């Protein structure tokens, strides 16, 4: 019996040793950093309003830099105004592993979207620093600039930030170009922010789900399988403005009536196709906008999202055909103008998916593989590196709102999975 007991003791010891290979994050410290970040960029009603390029964004970035420096990172701001903290690895010849997210928000947004991933990444750096853990790979901790206004920083890093995009202004009044300069970047050397394909061994992003699937099903961790692409169009309906009281109904070229039929057609065509594609008309403007004048012109937006670029284009073609029918019936001309797409479909790396799932399950956390219906920085980084994303529940699926909320427990769970997955990738990747 003794040899068997001795073998059992050895196995238990080895098991304990393996279980101890992951340092534990500091949950209280993690939450405190998130709460402190939330104090920067409040409006006059004390609501979160840290839009990119604003004074609050500048203050939040200063706070983030101080945390990164205290965690022993070498911090710099690249030409696209991304904040990058580097940490040496045992083997400098290996490509870095990277992780991070963003801290800017939409106007009157929430304190969790992007911020959870950013503070989670910094907590990983602090934990490694506290425990004296030196990874094989060099590490990069990245806080991307202006994610909400067009994934500016990550697009620049992937070499996909266009000249047209640099002229776009956000609610602060600054253009992307002006904002880059204000945040400490340099538009004259913007190409230096670009990384070649293969620059990273892998990239991880922790994020709130921004939907209600995990929350409603009482699940801990979402393992993201891919990030949807999305395309935008401006659609113009040109009819004829005329007197609302004297123009007979059968002689009208009512642009708003044609637009209303189009909105219904968009919904019908999206529902006809099998799959999880979505199509939305989110903005509509009618001119001249008087109660006693038949609308002569309408401009509206069309957005289509899916994990497949082919599905997006197929649905768009179907919608175009419906528009042709509406135009013929109504005598209203309908024109589509394709806008700069804000994201191409990006599948996450299968091996990284598996690593995240196993890291969560080893912690006793429930998991679900799921797509992301919203765009993220990881979507652009997928152009140059294998990526993985970790979702944590968002209460009620509320996002881009002051009511956005993720519990401290869920936040800590996601951050621990982030750390453990990073260390697993550090061991397995070359």
* Residue in 177, 98, 111, 178 with CA at minimum distance from that of residue 144: 98
CB within 8 Å of 316: residues ≥ 6 apart: 231, 233, 304
Instruction: Tokens 């199509």: give the residue.
Output: 279
φ, ψ of residue 307 to 5 degrees: the values are -75, -15
Does 137 carry a binding-site annotation?
Answer: no
Does 207 carry a binding-site annotation?
Answer: yes
Does 400 carry a binding-site annotation?
Answer: yes
Q: 108: which 2 tokens?
A: 């009157």
Give the largest CA-CA distance in the chain.
Answer: 104
| DSSP-based three-state secondary structure for 359 | helix
Does 424 carry a binding-site annotation?
Answer: no
Does 102 carry a binding-site annotation?
Answer: yes
Torsion sign over Cα 254, 255, 256, 260: positive
Other Cβ atoms closer than 10 A to 163: 8
- Residues counted in the chain: 430
* Residue in 289, 273, 135, 104 with CA at minimum distance from that of residue 204: 135
* Residue in 113, 152, 99, 136 with CA at minimum distance from that of residue 385: 99
Can you say how many angstroms the Cα of residue 360 is from the centroid of all Cα atoms in its chain? 21
Look at phi and psi of residue 420 and say left if phi exceeds 0, alpha if psi is from -120 to 50, else beta: alpha
Using the 8-state DSSP alphabet, how is residue 159 labeled?
T
Rounded Cα distance, 146 and 164, in Å: 16
* Residue in 426, 425, 423, 430 with CA at minimum distance from that of residue 124: 423
Q: 30 near 414, Cβ under 8 Å?
A: no
CA dist list (Å): 323 to 89, 124, 240, 259, 333: 57, 51, 18, 9, 9
Binding residues: 102, 113, 148, 207, 400
Binding residues for Zn(2+): 102, 113, 148, 207, 400
């Amino acid at each position: 019996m003794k040899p068997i007991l001795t073998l059992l003791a050895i196995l238990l010891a080895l098991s304990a040793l393996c279980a101890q290979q992951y340092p534990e994050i500091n949950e209280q410290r993690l939450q405190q950093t998130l709460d402190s970040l939330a104090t920067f960029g409040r409006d006059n009603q004390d609501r979160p309003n840290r839009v990119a390029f604003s004074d609050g964004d500048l203050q939040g970035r200063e706070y983030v830099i101080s945390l990164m420096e205290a965690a022993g990172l070498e911090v710099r701001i690249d030409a696209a105004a991304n904040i990058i903290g580097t940490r040496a690895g045992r083997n400098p010849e290996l490509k870095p592993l990277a992780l991070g997210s963003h801290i800017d928000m939409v106007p009157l947004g929430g304190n969790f979207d992007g911020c959870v991933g950013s503070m989670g990444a910094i907590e990983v750096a602090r934990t490694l620093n506290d425990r004296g853990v030196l990874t094989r790979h060099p590490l990069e901790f990245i806080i991307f600039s202006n994610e909400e206004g067009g994934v500016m920083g990550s697009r620049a890093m992937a070499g996909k930030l266009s000249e047209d995009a640099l002229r776009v202004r956000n609610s602060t009044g600054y253009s992307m170009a002006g904002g880059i300069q204000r945040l400490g970047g340099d538009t004259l050397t913007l190409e230096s922010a670009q990384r070649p394909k293969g620059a990273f061994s892998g990239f991880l992003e922790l994020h709130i789900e921004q939907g209600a699937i995990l929350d409603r099903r009482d699940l801990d961790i979402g393992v993201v399988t891919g990030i949807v692409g999305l395309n935008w169009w401006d659609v113009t309906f040109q009819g004829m403005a005329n007197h609302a009281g004297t123009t007979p109904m059968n002689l009208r070229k009512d642009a708003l009536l044609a637009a209303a039929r189009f909105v219904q057609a968009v919904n019908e065509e999206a529902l006809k196709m099998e799959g999880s594609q979505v199509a939305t008309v989110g903005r509509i403007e009618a001119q001249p906008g008087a109660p006693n004048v038949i609308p002569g012109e309408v401009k509206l937006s069309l957005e289509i999202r899916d994990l497949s670029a082919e599905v997006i284009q197929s649905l768009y073609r179907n919608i175009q055909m419906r528009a042709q029918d509406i135009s013929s019936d109504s005598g209203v001309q309908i024109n589509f103008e394709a806008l700069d797409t804000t994201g191409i479909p990006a599948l996450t790396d299968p091996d990284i998916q598996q690593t995240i799932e196993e890291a969560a399950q080893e912690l006793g956390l429930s998991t679900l593989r799921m797509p992301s219906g919203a765009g993220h920085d990881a979507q652009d980084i997928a152009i140059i590196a294998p990526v993985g994303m970790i979702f944590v529940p968002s209460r009620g699926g509320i996002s881009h709102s002051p009511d956005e909320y993720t519990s401290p427990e869920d936040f800590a769970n996601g951050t621990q999975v982030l750390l453990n997955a990073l260390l697993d990738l550090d061991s397995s990747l070359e």
